[in-house]
Amino acid sequence: MKRILIVTGQSGSGKSSALQVFEDLGYYCIDNLPLALLPEIVAKLDHDNNLEQLALGLDVRSAREDLQDFDDVLRQLQKFGAVDIIYLTTQDQQLISRFSASRRPHPLATRFKSLSECIQEEKNLLLPLKLQATVNIDTTDKSVHDLKDILLSKLGQSDNLIVILQSFGYKYGIPLDTDYIFDVRHLPNPHWNTELRKFSGLDQPVTAFLEQHADVEDMFQDIYVFLQKWLPALQRGHRHYVTISIGCTGGQHRSVYMVNRLQQALQRDWPIQVLHREMKNWS
């Protein structure tokens, strides 16, 4: 995993909106998990899904003891990649107005009589997270669109189309979260070579085997030319991301090779994320 975002801050300050922005940008988003469980869950996600980008929503509903031990949790998360902490805050009067308008109770409403007390106690509880924040944003007078622009600017991302390249195996089912699917099962299969079976499409022996066949190169060129032609049109249509899935029988050799080649060819022009869905099943 390359990047982890922790989205936190005061209730009513825009955390849900921020997570929606990151979801649109292709992040795998999880909200409101107990803080103490995050390292274990991130480890499993990293192992099973080979995720490139993860956004975690965190708020005051975590146990007080867990919030106080945030430094330890942060150190554990940093083992999986770069961690940015985004802390959202809003002036008290604006928060009171937002809660009054939404008629939703504050998460601490059962413990305190007034909304002002809830807001103050939440600030105290979230102080360990605020002190570690790498991005602080005051959303008092910000719209959802303003928040998106600030997040993109502060995190060094643009509003460009993000291309997600995913390999998969048809025997495990067709992915539902995809925009385009290319079937490469007709290409020569390294699986039937017992010396190659243990490798994946990322390994040199499989790469050398596949590159001996003209059909493999033709298929790559056809997919590459298609994407080069239509990705700009998708971006002009204000798409945030597009998922391209390449499938072979088991999702270990041909599809993985094709995704790897496409990544190398496209990354000069487009932000790329790669997901090898069947990695956990590789022999």
Query: What is the predicted pLDDT for the residue at 219?
Result: 98
Is 10 marked as binding a ligand?
Answer: yes
Is 169 marked as binding a ligand?
Answer: no
Contact between 202 and 280 under an 8 Å Cβ cutoff? The reply is no
Is 16 marked as binding a ligand?
Answer: yes
Is 12 marked as binding a ligand?
Answer: yes
Query: What is the predicted pLDDT for the residue at 101?
Result: 86
| CA 34 – CA 19 distance, rounded (Å) | 17
Domains delineated in the chain: 3-154 (3.40.50.300), 162-281 (no CATH)
Is 13 marked as binding a ligand?
Answer: yes
Q: Which residues in the chain come in under a pLDDT of 50? A: none
Is 11 marked as binding a ligand?
Answer: yes
Is 9 marked as binding a ligand?
Answer: yes
User: Cα torsion at 231, 148, 28, 68 (round to 10°)?
Assistant: 160
Question: What pLDDT digit, counting tens, does each position of 196-230 carry?
Answer: 999 999 999 999 999 999 999 999 999 999 999 99
Q: What is the pTM of this model?
A: 0.57
User: Cα torsion at 207, 210, 215, 217 (round to 10°)?
Assistant: 20
Query: What is the predicted pLDDT for the residue at 202?
Result: 96
Closest CA to 88 of 121, 60, 114: 60
Query: What is the predicted pLDDT for the residue at 157?
Result: 58
Beta-sheet pairing, 180-183 with 162-169: unpaired
Is 97 marked as binding a ligand?
Answer: no
Query: What is the predicted pLDDT for the residue at 65?
Result: 75
Is 61 marked as binding a ligand?
Answer: yes
Is 173 marked as binding a ligand?
Answer: no
Query: What is the predicted pLDDT for the residue at 229?
Result: 96
Percent of the chain with pLDDT over 70: 96
- In this structure, which amino acid lies at residue 234? L
Question: What pLDDT digit, counting tens, does each position of 105-125 carry?
Answer: 888 888 888 999 999 998 998
